[in-house]
Structure 1
């Protein structure tokens, strides 16, 4: 499991130890991009516990489940592969499943979601994870925001297939919150 290091300001990111490979997480008390995106998150304690329980079932096998999600996304939505230059040459699902790069990125996606899930009851911390992730994907990686809905829908499909409709229902609000907040970041970045 990835530990998250919270940094005080963007300046502290330079040279700082970076948890979760290149997913820096910082919670500045008044960072403009955090403060300007208001949180509409409202999870009851029961919803938080239910969502965490559902996610725990998926996250216990983060690498395999993350890989399955990416392989399905690349297979069902081949245009999504165009953002990953090192995945472009992989045409078969089996080849993708065996790729260390695909497996590593699948785990990275699941680790980021896990960090968000751990903060469903703390909107400031949740946004401290979502906002830098959204900003990086919008400004540096230029990923179309519709791809977040695609990957979240595939996660929900896989949850339902593996653990049933109740598991999916418990996590659906989380994916909606993630996509909503990522879309808000994109709007702020001019998309």
Structure 2
């Protein structure tokens, strides 16, 4: 019985030694992407409601879809001009810089959360909402495009489950720490 479980574990989780480093870094990247997305996603509605107002959430959802259309066209142009790793670096850097900028501005007394006067004219709340809405379709999809470009189908079968498990751990960890 113990031999059968050992064989099953080896078959499910064995990764070639040369693939382990790649698996480690891809899992780490995906872990960080999902960790930050989990935190941002939880803040999105709270920040928007505090800054803009609860009644504007349905409007924001509709406008977000419309606002993302030009971003999709920009993404399409970038896909044609950049390699996948450059695209991943570009979007990671862009979302990292804007994420830090938003984090700093959230504490600003006039445009951030300390200002308790909710108003539809407060542009910062709208921009933050659209920023978080764009995170998943762009950064997560770019990550998977990159992962697909550096893994063979056989390697993908063996490692994508482990990479996804690492991302789930990141999501659970960030949600737990946030709680």
| TM-score w.r.t. length of structure 1 | 0.30
RCO greater where, 1 or 2, for CA within 8 Å and sep 6 or more?
2
| TM-score w.r.t. length of structure 2 | 0.31
Flag the structure with larger Rg.
2
